[in-house]
Structure 1
Amino acid sequence: MSRMGLGELLSLLSAAVWAVGVILYRQLGATLPPLQLNLLKNSLVLGMVLVSLPLVHGFALPDFSASQLGLALLSGFIGIAIADTLYFRALNQLGAGRMGVLGNFYSPAVILLSVVFLDERLSVVQMIGFGLVSLGVYLVAERRPDDAGGGRALLKGLAIGFCAILLMAVAIVLVKRTLEAQPLMWVTAVRMTGAVVGLWVLALVFRRRLGPALPPLAGVPWRKLLIAAFVGQFLSMVFWLGGYKFTSASVAAILNESASVFILLLAWAWLKEPLSRRALAGVALTVAGVSCMLLPA
């Protein structure tokens, strides 16, 4: 008989608080462009991580090699500065429900990248799982009457969302060896530094196309932004790591994918986004597919 242990509970909490964060980011996206939202959010999270460092690791400094430092910074630039900006843009275009299900491609993407770069092999069941995830996302990608810009806009939003999820997977594979060798919160701090510095670089290079890096600070909904950063990224990260610490990786990863269900239901109840039988079927297929993908090859 299965039981709900600490690891299982933390994994579910991680999925739930991430879902709340996504809903808040969806609301913030109505007033803040993706780049501005990402820069403000990650600056707040970096501050939270820096405050947490002495509480978790004391005042001892880590011994990063040049390659470890470079990979951690690059991972933050790719996986947070670029990927999160694309994620917020897709979130504005697709809605929270669709992006929640699209996020289920993260675990399969990590596994597929492991096949390419780590010479791992997929089993038949895992290949079936990838097909189930693809079918589930296809069902959720149904065009709705309220979609602006027609089918082309929907496809563009899906393409941006896929790129965001893929870049997140690339970034975690890049930093995996560094994570194994160095203190977790220090790696997180370096990644967040790479993200914030990278966002400023993007803002300066593409300022004519993307607009100013920061909005008028008096008009920023600081309370909601602070809650979104704390709940949607800082807390979700802590709970996610705790889940992997206190239960098996496969169980934690599968439970994390329940975020798609939380997001879909919260988007329906909180943001009044449509909730169709087709969308629910898509969630069921993607969760089943991810479960297959996480089985040993």
Structure 2
Amino acid sequence: MSIGIGEGLALGSAAAWAVGVILARQLGATLPPLALNLMKNGLVLALLAPVVLFLHAGQWPQMPARDIALVLASGVLGIAIADTLYFRALNELGAGRMGVIGNLYSPLVLVMGFLWLDERLGARQWLGFGLVGLGVLLVSRPPSEWRTQPAHTLRGVLIGMGAIALMAIAIVMVKRILEEQPLLWITLLRLAGAVGGLLLIAAWPAMRRHRAFDARQVPWRRLILAALIGQGLSMVFWLGGYKYTSASVAAILNESASVFLVILAALWLREPLGRRGVVGVLLTFSGIACMLLGRATP
């Protein structure tokens, strides 16, 4: 079994995202979705910008204006809007329901990759896709454990589905640009678009109550670690996965984030894994092995 840099980065992104979720699990109680999204991305942008400028000696990459606009738009759609909607849906539905809704991501990327990028999966990739999807469903909180019924379940489901769809569109629209341009530059541009979009949204008077918070109640150390690992490192790895392998394969491997989250919760937070979780973990990693045994050709 061989693993390419793209597959490795896609799996690394899933693991980093899971670590970020563990670190940030209490942030939603003190920060509204818009403020949390803006602060995380603003912090990563402030730290990443001087690093990228230093590594590239301040030289701007040779990119057509159309590509720059697409990358900026991808940041607005996939981070500023999609992540804010995701956090909103997470608050309304809880992690269990959002875990299930998140399973829409890889099928959407597969369909878009087929239609717009001419990507195809081989038999082993399809088997891997099925195993990963089944494993993720098993480790997601089962319906019997959804003891509360949110007042706006339908609204939350629609918001969550919209967030996942925007994430899929945002990455597919920059896939070809990623293949041709330096990874860190694209990450920086995408973050700039995201922060710019978030500032515009935050400036809208109707969003005032969605950005208000008490700074004394914010766990700042946790926020910084969550931003650096769950947002910064995860995003670089995530985009790198799409740069160096097909969008379809990267999207399926990204689904393993739910499984990494369950494993970390068991090891770090001492949460019980249970038989269902163990089977889900085994199925997911079996699916990942299938993906790596027969890599698709974009």
Q: TM-score band (shorter)?
A: 0.7 to 0.9
How many angstroms does 1:113 deviate by? 0.7
Conservation of the 8 A alpha-carbon contact between 2:75 and 2:190:
yes
Instruction: Measure the CA separation in 2 of the matches of 1:152 and 1:137.
Output: 25
Conservation of the 8 A alpha-carbon contact between 2:16 and 2:229:
yes
Deviations 1:153-189 (A, max 9, x none): 3x65555444323221210111122223332222211
Matching of residue 234 in structure 1 with residue 217 in structure 2: no
Which residue matches 2:36?
Answer: 37
Which residue matches 1:193?
Answer: 192
Matching of residue 149 in structure 1 with residue 149 in structure 2: yes
Letter in structure 1 aligned against 2:148? A
Conservation of the 8 A alpha-carbon contact between 1:80 and 1:195:
yes
Conservation of the 8 A alpha-carbon contact between 1:10 and 1:243:
yes
Letter in structure 2 aligned against 1:177? R
Conservation of the 8 A alpha-carbon contact between 1:38 and 1:81:
yes
Which residue matches 1:111?
Answer: 110
Instruction: Measure the CA separation in 2 of the matches of 1:275 and 1:157.
Output: 27
Conservation of the 8 A alpha-carbon contact between 2:183 and 2:240:
no
Matching of residue 165 in structure 1 with residue 153 in structure 2: no
Letter in structure 2 aligned against 1:72? V
Letter in structure 2 aligned against 1:22? V
Letter in structure 1 aligned against 2:83? D
Letter in structure 2 aligned against 1:68? D
Conservation of the 8 A alpha-carbon contact between 2:129 and 2:252:
no
Q: Tell me the C-alpha RMSD between the 2 structures.
A: 3.9
Conservation of the 8 A alpha-carbon contact between 1:108 and 1:290:
no
Instruction: Measure the CA separation in 2 of the matches of 1:44 and 1:244.
Output: 24
Conservation of the 8 A alpha-carbon contact between 2:133 and 2:255:
no
Aligned residues: 293
Conservation of the 8 A alpha-carbon contact between 1:39 and 1:196:
yes
Instruction: Measure the CA separation in 1 of the matches of 2:95 and 2:271.
Output: 8
Instruction: Measure the CA separation in 2 of the matches of 1:198 and 1:292.
Output: 39
Partner SS for 1:211: helix
Which residue matches 1:202?
Answer: 201
Question: Residues 26 and 144 from structure 1, CA distance in 2 versus in 1: closer, same or farther, beyond 3 angstroms?
Answer: farther
How many angstroms does 1:3 deviate by? 7.3
Question: Residues 204 and 282 from structure 1, CA distance in 2 versus in 1: closer, same or farther, beyond 3 angstroms?
Answer: farther
Question: Residues 147 and 82 from structure 1, CA distance in 2 versus in 1: closer, same or farther, beyond 3 angstroms?
Answer: farther
Instruction: Measure the CA separation in 1 of the matches of 2:152 and 2:134.
Output: 20
Q: Which moved more, 1:134-143 or 1:285-294?
A: 285-294
Which residue matches 1:176?
Answer: 175
Question: Residues 128 and 242 from structure 1, CA distance in 2 versus in 1: closer, same or farther, beyond 3 angstroms?
Answer: closer
Q: Which moved more, 1:119-128 or 1:165-174?
A: 119-128
Question: Residues 254 and 135 from structure 1, CA distance in 2 versus in 1: closer, same or farther, beyond 3 angstroms?
Answer: closer
Q: Which moved more, 1:102-111 or 1:120-129?
A: 120-129
Instruction: Measure the CA separation in 2 of the matches of 1:72 and 1:5.
Output: 25
How many angstroms does 1:43 deviate by? 0.5
How many angstroms does 1:226 deviate by? 0.6
Letter in structure 2 aligned against 1:171? A
Conservation of the 8 A alpha-carbon contact between 1:243 and 1:252:
yes
Which residue matches 1:73?
Answer: 72
Q: TM-score, normalised by structure 2?
A: 0.77
How many angstroms does 1:272 deviate by? 6.9
Conservation of the 8 A alpha-carbon contact between 2:82 and 2:166:
yes
Which residue matches 2:258?
Answer: 260
Letter in structure 1 aligned against 2:256? S
Q: TM-score, normalised by structure 1?
A: 0.77
Letter in structure 2 aligned against 1:148? T
Question: Residues 174 and 102 from structure 1, CA distance in 2 versus in 1: closer, same or farther, beyond 3 angstroms?
Answer: same
Question: Residues 28 and 260 from structure 1, CA distance in 2 versus in 1: closer, same or farther, beyond 3 angstroms?
Answer: same
Instruction: Measure the CA separation in 2 of the matches of 1:83 and 1:115.
Output: 22
Partner SS for 1:191: helix
| Structure 1 alignment gaps of length 5 or more | none
